[in-house]
Structure formats: structure tokens, C-alpha cells
Amino acid sequence: MNIWSQETYLKASRFAAQAHRGQLVPGTELPYLLHLSMVSMEVIAALQGDARFDGELALQCAWLHDTLEDTAISYATLAQEFSPQIADGVSALTKDSRLAKPLQMTDSLRRIKLQPPEVAMVKLADRITNLQRPPAHWTKAKTGQYRDEALEIYHALKDANAFLAARLLAKIEAYAVFVEDQK
Ligand code: NI
């Protein structure tokens, strides 16, 4: 059984490609779309025909999750083009830049937990995707902080989806090597 439609996927991915055009994955020369496609892939792997989850909601939020934070797209545009539910999900996944930096993740996690579990799935998939080898200029302290933040995400959202939670925990454990390697 298919719990999401290819047409919805195409619309959201095309919209994201347009919104993020010209942006690169930080520290690389690769298009930002790569990050979004990896997050979407993690979400698809977790859905695997699991009818308990709304695949349409999960995949649209996956493609659109950085539009409010990193592009000129507004909440109103997302609500109109997609739905208020999608706009609310993406909004929860967006850090509140008015808060002090150290508070932003905890605040976003609190808001994600007020949303359906599909929104938490996107956050888990996002951090799974981002736990790759850190840029060479990151200090050991920064790399360690990034790992600790990943643990905070894991503990806050692990009940939303067991498959993604297990995968995130494995990625956090593997990331220890990078923390050790950093100067
Ligand atoms: Ni992201």
C-alpha cells in the first residue's frame, strides 16, 4: 500500500528546489537540494508502507523543512500552496531567531512535540543526515556540542518513530570517531 503520492512528492520537491536555488550544503560545493533529498530518503525508509503514519504530511514537511529558516518563503505561502498543517509542521521545525542561540533547539523540540509524530520524524531524519564527517575547521568542542545536541534531539523525539530513533542513535555512536579526530 502506498501511503504517499508521487504527485505530492514532485510538487514539494520542485517547490523546495525553486526556494533553495543557488544555496549549497554548508562547507561543500554541492546543491542544498542534496540535503533535502537525503532527509526525504530517510523518511521514506522509515515509512515503508507503515500505515500508522501520514506519509503525505511527513514527506512534504521533509522537502519543505528548511524553507522558513533559510529562504524568503513565508508561513502564509506554505499554508496556501500546501496546507496550514504543513505550514505549522515546518514552523515547528524552524528555529526562533529571536531567542538566544543556546535556547533555540530546545524551544524548537518543544514545539515539534506539539505537532503530529510525522514532524518529529523529519527532525530525526534531518539530524541523521547531518551527522556526517564535520568540516575540518570545526573544533573538538564544537563537534562535541553537535553530538550532545543530537542526543538532546534523540531523547526528546525518540518515541515518535522507533526506526528513525534507532538509526539516529547509531549515527550518534558512529560520530564519536569524528569528535575524537577533531583538534
Ligand atoms: Ni535540514
In the chain, which ranges are continuous DSSP H helix?
6-19, 33-47, 55-64, 67-70, 75-81, 84-92, 101-112, 117-130, 140-157, 162-181
Give the Å distance between the CA of 67 and the centre of ligand 1: 9
Architecture of domain 6-181: Orthogonal Bundle (1.10)
Beta-ladder partners of 24 = 31
Residue 88, pLDDT score: 98
Residue 166 Cα to chain centre, angstroms = 16
Q: Where are the domains of the chain?
A: 6-181
Cα 70 to ligand 1 centre (Å): 10
Question: Quick one: average pLDDT of 111-136?
Answer: 96
Indicate the residue type of 146: Y
Q: What is the whole-number distance in angstroms between the Cα of residue 33 and the centre of ligand 1? A: 10
Average pLDDT value over all residues in the chain: 95
Alpha-carbon distance values, 133 to 15, 145, 155 (Å): 29, 14, 22
Separation of 83 CA from ligand 1 center, angstroms? 20
- pLDDT, tens digit, 9 for 90 and up, residues 63-113: 999 999 999 999 999 999 999 999 999 999 999 999 999 999 999 999 999
Question: What pLDDT, in 10s, does the model give residues 13-47?
Answer: 999 999 999 999 988 899 999 999 999 999 999 99
pLDDT (0 to 100) of residue 1: 52
In one-letter notation, the amino acid at residue 82 is F
pLDDT winner (highest mean) among 43-57, 109-123, 124-138: 109-123
pLDDT reported for residue 124? 98
Look at residue 50 in the predicted model and tell me its pLDDT: 84
Whole-number pLDDT of residue 2: 62
Query: 124: CA distance to ligand 1 center in Å?
Result: 10
- DSSP state letter for 38: H
Phi, psi at 31, each rounded to 5°: -65, 145
User: For residue 126, how far is its CA from the centre of ligand 1 (angstroms)?
Assistant: 5
In the reported structure, the alpha carbon of residue 71 is separated from the centroid of ligand 1 by a whole-number distance in angstroms of 12
Q: What is the pLDDT of residue 115?
A: 98
